[in-house]
Chains A and B, each alone.
Chain A
Amino acid sequence: MTDLTRITLAQARDGLKARSFSATELTQAHLDAIEAAKALNAYVLVTPEKALDGAKAADARLAAGEAGPLEGIPLGIKDLFATEGVRTTACSRILENFVPSYESTVTAQLWRDGAVHLGKLNNDEFAMGSSNETSCFGPPVNPWRRTGSDTPLTAGGSSGGSSAAVAAGLALGATATDTGGSIRQPAAFTGTVGVKPTYGRCSRWGTVAFASSLDQAGTITRTVRDSAILLRSMAGFDPKDSTSVDRPVPDYEAAIGRSVKGLKIGIPKEYRLEGLSPEIDALWQRGADWLRDAGAEVVEVSLPHTSYALAAYYIVAPAEASSNLARYDGVRYGRRVPGKDIAELYENTRAEGFGREVKRRILIGTYVLSAGYYDAYYVKAQKIRTLIRRDFENVYAAGVDAILTPATPTPAFPIGQKVTSPIEMYLNDVFTVTVNMAGLPGIAVPAGLGGEGLPLGLQLIGRPFDEETLFALGEAIEQAAGRLDAPQWWG
């Protein structure tokens, strides 16, 4: 039999329907692969019993002809999504023993559609990071290595467990979240597809909050089609999230294979950064050529406020984080460190419970929101956000259908390389962060291997709620670039 962990989600779905293999066989193959891949540290909790129970129920529904759209598909869940009765930590010591009594809307919809829960995936603590090194469980390891080297590389962050698991065949797909690039950057680093949908497309309810005006749930999968299938189940209106958008979810998979002929693709000149590596520049050029060959028209566009996005982000995101993370007080849930009074209990609990990067961001956020500085920092950053969004609106109003950029300024880097410099780490998000600031959808698609033998990704940015055009264009790139599979060295 073919290796059931190396097929695509779409192939698995079709194979299950045709009864070529059972959901139990498919799930067991993934549990075995997870067991053999402990060195990757992709999962922080495996739920084999839950997975096999789910697979058994899926087999029954498949036999009865009552299969849901994801019936029997084994998935990994980022440890930021609350899962009922299954420990959910956000990879923080402060939540080390938290077992939710409720299920996040996104995961509830996956189970509704028949998916099988393999376990919880590693991420940066509270999704704050770009290399997954802030996790209290330690970083996951990228299944990809440089040619001729065994130096462990980052799988990206914050959704590094999701990207590592999908690239290594430890799940057919994974949920992820993206606040500044946390889906698209790890996808680019691992040769996988990452989709950050439009703000409001997926419910935030039951997902551990980082920066509420930027956070959005999305997918990491091995193909564009797989992301389209998965997103359809995850997306949709939820009255429990006040910024959830009430509009129908299209059949995203129908956009796969749709012609891109005549679409207008913008190349933003401000993304051509000084010092951009020639390899990334050539990749970008090649991506534009592929889309041109597929019949799209490629034009240069201008997004003049691009260079301010990262700085504005590093005001808005920490400000919202400092407010959201105020709830971790050692009283209602999570770790508690005693003190002589309640103030000292709070201070001790938070000092011991939060890691360095999280504390740094809470402090920055507290500072920019403090009396006398609110207007100078937070309000100013929100004004710049208006300008960033306006840049995109102008480009789309001029007839551009989507924007093509590199996904990241570099391929995956060694674990430990950038932890000492927060600013250098923040620069990872330079191509992705504008998308969150403007609330737009974005997709990262593998576009080939670079000189070191590592995957490189391209990013497409779409109009609000036009994920379908991104799926059509993303698949055109995928067709031209070919799929990437990490050579197996683990297990």
Chain B
Amino acid sequence: MAVDDNTVRRIAHLARIRVTDEEVPHLRSELNAILDFVAQLDQVDVSGVEPMTSVLPMDLRQREDKVTDGGYADRIVANAPQSEDNYFVVPKVVE
């Protein structure tokens, strides 16, 4: 399953990473090298094997559904590149 230039562009857009036209061929060959490397997994018979969903056998804990934290919006936005009145500021999204 080799990727082509268009697939690289599509994946980069899905990942929200801008790539330039000059970067595409290089990324394509690197991604294909990695995909070739992982293709060895096709040799393994995994029929009847359950995928690992928990690293160690354990049930996911649940907690009571109540507010236990919060009330400090100023700290939440403290690292924002742009904020106003404790809101994050972004370019206009809705026309």
Choose one: B63, B79, B93; the contact of A98 (CB below 8 Å).
B79
B16 at the interface (CB under 8 A from A): yes
Q: A311-B41, A348-B18 are in contact. Are A366 and B11 (CB under 8 A)?
A: yes
Nearest CB in chain A to that of B12: its residue: A363
B53, A382: Cβ atoms closer than 8 Å: yes
Give the CA-CA distance A408 to B10 in the complex, in Å.
Answer: 37
User: Smallest Cβ distance from B4 to chain A, in angstroms?
Assistant: 12
Q: How large is the interface on B (under 10, 10 to 19, 20 to 34, 35 or more residues)?
A: 35 or more
User: Smallest Cβ distance from A389 to chain B, in angstroms?
Assistant: 7
A449 at the interface (CB under 8 A from B): no
Give the CA-CA distance A315 to B41 in the complex, in Å.
Answer: 10
B41, A308: Cβ atoms closer than 8 Å: yes
B56, A333: Cβ atoms closer than 8 Å: no
Give the CA-CA distance A366 to B13 in the complex, in Å.
Answer: 10
B91, A363: Cβ atoms closer than 8 Å: no
B38, A377: Cβ atoms closer than 8 Å: yes
Q: A308-B44, A345-B90, A386-B50 are in contact. Are A351 and B18 (CB under 8 A)?
A: yes
A252 at the interface (CB under 8 A from B): no
Contact digits for B11-43, partner A, Cβ 8 Å, 1 yes 0 no: 111111111000000010011011101111101
A383, B49: Cβ atoms closer than 8 Å: yes
A423, B60: Cβ atoms closer than 8 Å: no
Q: Among A2-10, A105-113, A324-332, which stretch is in contact with chain B?
A: A324-332
Contact digits for B59-80, partner A, Cβ 8 Å, 1 yes 0 no: 0110100000000100111111
Q: A314-B34, A422-B30 are in contact. Are A363 and B17 (CB under 8 A)?
A: yes
Give the CA-CA distance A364 to B36 in the complex, in Å.
Answer: 12
B34, A423: Cβ atoms closer than 8 Å: yes
User: Smallest Cβ distance from B38 to chain A, in angstroms?
Assistant: 4
State the majority secondary structure of interface residues on B: loop
Nearest CB in chain A to that of B49: its residue: A383
Give the CA-CA distance A336 to B16 in the complex, in Å.
Answer: 13
Q: A329-B16, A351-B18, A387-B46 are in contact. Are A367 and B37 (CB under 8 A)?
A: no
Nearest CB in chain A to that of B10: its residue: A370
B41, A363: Cβ atoms closer than 8 Å: no
A286 at the interface (CB under 8 A from B): no
A242 at the interface (CB under 8 A from B): yes
Give the CA-CA distance A422 to B33 in the complex, in Å.
Answer: 9
Residue picked from B15, B63, B77, most chain A C-beta under 10 Å: B15
Give the CA-CA distance A101 to B77 in the complex, in Å.
Answer: 10
Q: A308-B44, A423-B33 are in contact. Are A336 and B81 (CB under 8 A)?
A: yes
A242, B61: Cβ atoms closer than 8 Å: yes
B81, A360: Cβ atoms closer than 8 Å: no
B17, A379: Cβ atoms closer than 8 Å: no
A363, B58: Cβ atoms closer than 8 Å: no
A311, B38: Cβ atoms closer than 8 Å: yes
Give the CA-CA distance A464 to B16 in the complex, in Å.
Answer: 38
Choose one: A198, A360, A383, A464; the contact of B51 (CB below 8 Å).
A383
A287 at the interface (CB under 8 A from B): no
Choose one: A200, A366, A439; the contact of B14 (CB below 8 Å).
A366
Q: A360-B30, A363-B15 are in contact. Are A213 and B55 (CB under 8 A)?
A: yes
By a CB distance below 8 angstroms, the chain B residues around A342 are: 90-91, 93
Nearest CB in chain B to that of A240: its residue: B69
By a CB distance below 8 angstroms, the chain A residues around B75 are: 101
Give the CA-CA distance A342 to B16 in the complex, in Å.
Answer: 10
Contact digits for A122-160, partner B, Cβ 8 Å, 1 yes 0 no: 000000000000000000000000000000000000000
B46, A380: Cβ atoms closer than 8 Å: yes
Give the CA-CA distance A203 to B77 in the complex, in Å.
Answer: 25
Choose one: A326, A335, A370; the contact of B81 (CB below 8 Å).
A335
Choose one: B34, B53, B91; the contact of A341 (CB below 8 Å).
B91
Choose one: B14, B40, B78, B90; the contact of A101 (CB below 8 Å).
B78
Choose one: A334, A347, A370, A377; the contact of B17 (CB below 8 Å).
A347
Choose one: B17, B46, B81; the contact of A331 (CB below 8 Å).
B81
Contact digits for A418-453, partner B, Cβ 8 Å, 1 yes 0 no: 000011001000000000000100000000000000
By a CB distance below 8 angstroms, the chain B residues around A46 are: none
A343 at the interface (CB under 8 A from B): yes
By a CB distance below 8 angstroms, the chain A residues around B35 are: 364, 367
User: Smallest Cβ distance from A280 to chain B, in angstroms?
Assistant: 22
Further contacts, 6 of them, CB under 8 A, given A200-B58, A439-B55: A101-B78, A354-B17, A367-B3, A383-B51, A386-B49, A387-B49
